[in-house]
Amino acid sequence: MRARKTFLVICFAGLLLAVTAVASELALRISGHISTASIHAISNADFVRVPGMFEPNQSVEETPHPKLHYHATINSLGYRGPEFQRIRPPHVVRILCLGDSGTFGQFVNDEETLSANLERMLQQEGISVEVINGGVPGTTIVDQVEILQRGLSLAPDIVILTFSENDITDLEAEPSQFAALAENRRVKGRTGLKTVYELVRDTALFNYFLKVRATWNTYSAPHVSTGVLISSPEDSETRHEQLWANYSHHLGACPSNCLSCD
């Protein structure tokens, strides 16, 4: 009798949880404030196969706000934008753009990204050019050196690295974005978790969780590295100079055809 009662309680709790989840999913979808799909990072299997950092062959309409819709396409090589040949065509100048969300083009359509605009402008000047969007949101120079090493298999003639002031303070983030993505690949590739992940990743609830986690990380992350107390403007300036030196060190690891611009 007690076992039956326990079983009924568990069933009721499970049913209540399922109803709550469905109701929450519908409420989030109706609100229009949460996308029901998002760009997925690359899996371990594809990571060794293609040079890009995103799951190949995606076409996503993201809706971070009811009044903000934008379309993002990931090609078969894991880069945002149209398809291109892995082997550079003869007589074509290939440019690889690296950077964070500004280079990736977060909140804008494919044809409005930095790489798309640059390619269009150069082609209007009669230059046979191909501009690849290698931007990955949340990255800084530490990650971009790693991304560049992967992109060198595409034999770019020029690499353009874009940065902004926040990339300097982002150097204090632990782990780096490249390392965090590696952990993401490891976790979602576990037996059993892979199936669950593929079932829930395009739900509004899952994307809402990602949004809440990103917001929490943004506002809870310390602005200085662990153990370092910035107590005066002089200390702050010294720390900033150290971060710039760190950035310069990683920038020096780039090949000689890497062009840095602000």
Provide the token pair at 232: 């005066």
| 3 state SS of 187 | helix
Q: Which of 224, 212, 148, 140 is nearest to 177 (CA)?
A: 140
Q: What is the DSSP letter of 42?
A: P
**Where do we find the tokens 């605009």?**
117
Rounded CA separation 29/16 (Å): 20
100-126 mean pLDDT: 96
Q: In this predicted model, what pLDDT tens digit does every residue of 124-179 receive, in sequence order?
A: 999 999 999 999 999 999 999 999 999 999 999 999 999 887 888 888 888 899 99
Strand 58-65 versus strand 93-98 pairing type: unpaired
2-26 mean pLDDT: 74
Provide the token pair at 168: 């300097």
Strand 258-261 versus strand 158-162 pairing type: parallel
Write down the pTM of the prediction.
0.80
CB of 51 within 8 A of CB of 24?
no
CATH fold of 90-261 reads Rossmann fold (3.40.50)
- Segments making up each domain of the chain, as ranges: 90-261
CB of 171 within 8 A of CB of 141?
yes
Q: In this predicted model, what pLDDT tens digit does every residue of 198-255 receive, in sequence order?
A: 777 778 777 777 777 767 766 665 544 444 444 566 677 788 788 888 888 877 777 6
